[in-house]
Structure formats: structure tokens, C-alpha cells
Amino acid sequence: MKYVPKDIRDAPNPNVTPTHPLKELIVLLSGALGCIVGAYIVLGFLVDWVVPKISFETEEKMAALFAPLDLQRDGSTDVERRLQAMVDEIQDSCTHLPYTISVSVADEPMINAVALPGGRIVVFQGLLENVRSENEIAFILGHEMGHFANRDHLRGLGRGLVLLVVSTALFGADSSVSDLIADTITITEMSFSRAQETRADEYGLEVLNCSFGHVTGATDFFEKIPKESDPGRFGHYFSSHPENQRRIARLKRIAEEKKFPEGRRIPWEE
């Protein structure tokens, strides 16, 4: 058989891929996205694995990194002493959390309170200006303590917590690396899931009933939240916090199921 060489002009160019560039781009982007999603999921499981293993002593050390976020004033004000007394009473009579919980007031207009590492509760001045009863305050403090009970305050730091723990272990709490990571984890990133908020609501309801012998005032805070701050019926599915009306309905349902009584409100005056 006679060999007939192929005309190289008809051969495909080895330097040019036969696959369309757009298809290649899609494949590359899909692969990159898959890697990112996979890493995010793995890191999420890692957070859930790490949090229960963090000792309270380690948390205390990490808490120093959040000094710029706790917004504590120098010294104690009368309001802070009153809030601290309420928390101490709750700790003594209704809960036994493995924290020495301290309360401070931040002179900010936000209508909110947050739980920070190390057993710190920060109540914003905007919230205090909108509460009308000690019952309402007790529920809010109990809610934040519920986050401590479930260690949501650590899970709420998200995947950045893993980096923070690793950097603290490798470089120490006073290193510039640890400081940089802590600075990037702001209060706005400390959002809790709807499930965590629901559990904290239930904890606050139990605290309120234990403290006052009834649950009047449990829903007052949610009933006063402006509509523009409410995630709404559909926004609820894209928000970390449950829709206010759902929270109110759930609290009332739980109170009815557990036969928690109603009582009178004790006025709150600064």
C-alpha cells in the first residue's frame, strides 16, 4: 500500500482549541464558583465544629480583640448599674450561664442590643429611649442571654471566626494580623439566623416569666419597630431576623401553650 501524506493545510491548528471560547469561559467560571461554594460550605461546617470546642477562657482572650466594638463607656452610669443589676438577678434566679455577663450602654441612636464575645451585652441608647417597661427590658436582656446560652454570638461571627481563632493561636491576641481580622468583623456582620433568633426569643420569654411571674411585655419591642425596619412578609426569607409579626405570633402561641400568665408592666424611666 502506498503511503499518501496528509496535506498539513487541512489539518487542525494545534494552537487553536476546537471548543468555543464562550463554552470554555462558562466551564472555568462554573469550576471557580464550585470551588468557592465548596469552600464556603466546608468552612461553615468547620465553624459549627469549632464553636463548641472554644473554651470560655479562650473566648475571654478573644474578647479583647473586640474592644473597639463593645463601645463601652469609661465607668458606670446609673442606667448601666440598673441594667447590670437586672442581669445579675436573672443570672442568680433564672439562668446559670458560664459567663460573667457585663452590660454597657452605647450612646448611639440604634434601636438594638448585641451580644459580644466574653459575655458582653451592649444596649444602644436608641433602644432605651423607646422602651416603656422593665418587663420589656428584661425580655431583651433575656433574648441576648439566650444567644450566650446557645453560643450564637460566636456562630454569628461567621466564617471570620475560624480565621480569628487560627490567627490568635498562631500569632497571639496582640498581633497585627489578629487585630486586622477582628477589625474586619463588624457588628453588622454579627447577624444571626432566623432559627437562632427564634430560640433566643423563646429563651427571653422563659426569662421574663421567671423574673416577673408572667410574660406581659414580651412582644412590646417588636410591636414598636418601624415598618421600614421590618423585613416584611417576603423579605423575611432573605433576612437574618424573622418578620416581626411572625415573632409576635410565635411568642404569643408559646405563652399560650405553656400557660404563662399575663400581669402588669413596671414603668421604665431613665
Q: Give the span between the Cα atoms of 181 and 140, in whole angstroms.
A: 29
Q: What is the mean pLDDT of residues 170-191?
A: 54
Residue 242 carries which side chain, given as an amino acid letter?
A: P
Rg of the chain (C-alpha set): 26
List all residues 6 or more positions away from 55 whose beta carbon is below 8 Å from its beta carbon: none
**Of the ranges 31-40, 67-76, 202-211, 223-232, which is most confident?**
202-211
Statement: residue 201 has pLDDT above 80: yes
The more confidently predicted of residues 177 and 120 is 120
Q: What is the mean pLDDT of residues 55-76?
A: 62
What is the structure's pLDDT at 191?
53
- The secondary structure of the chain as a DSSP string is ----PPPTTTSPPTTS-SS-HHHHHHHHHHHHHHHHHHHHHHHHHHHHHHGGG--HHHHHHHHGGGHHHH-PPSS--HHHHHHHHHHHHHHHHT---SS--EEEEE----S-EEEETTTEEEEEHHHHTT--BHHHHHHHHHHHHHHHHTTHHHHTTTTHHHHHHHHHHHH-TTSHHHHHHHHHS-GGG-PPPHHHHHHHHHHHHHHHHHHHSS-TTTTHHHHHS-GGGS-HHHHGGGSSSPPHHHHHHHHHHHHHHTTPPP--PPB---
Q: What is the mean pLDDT of residues 232-246?
A: 55
Name the grid cell of 241.
Answer: 431576623
Q: Give the span between the Cα atoms of 164 and 54, in whole angstroms.
A: 12
Provide the pLDDT confidence category of residue 237 given band limits of 50, 70 and 90: very low
What is the structure's pLDDT at 223?
83
What is the structure's pLDDT at 107?
87
**Residue appearing with cell numbers 433568633:** 197
Statement: residue 157 has pLDDT above 80: no
What is the structure's pLDDT at 188?
41
Provide the pLDDT confidence category of residue 159 given band limits of 50, 70 and 90: low
Report CA torsion sign: 216, 217, 218, 220. positive
**Residue appearing with cell numbers 498562631:** 170
Chain CA centroid to CA 89, Å: 25
pLDDT digit string (tens) for 84-133? 999 999 999 998 888 888 899 988 888 888 888 888 899 999 999 999 99
Name the grid cell of 116.
Answer: 459580644
Statement: residue 69 has pLDDT above 50: no
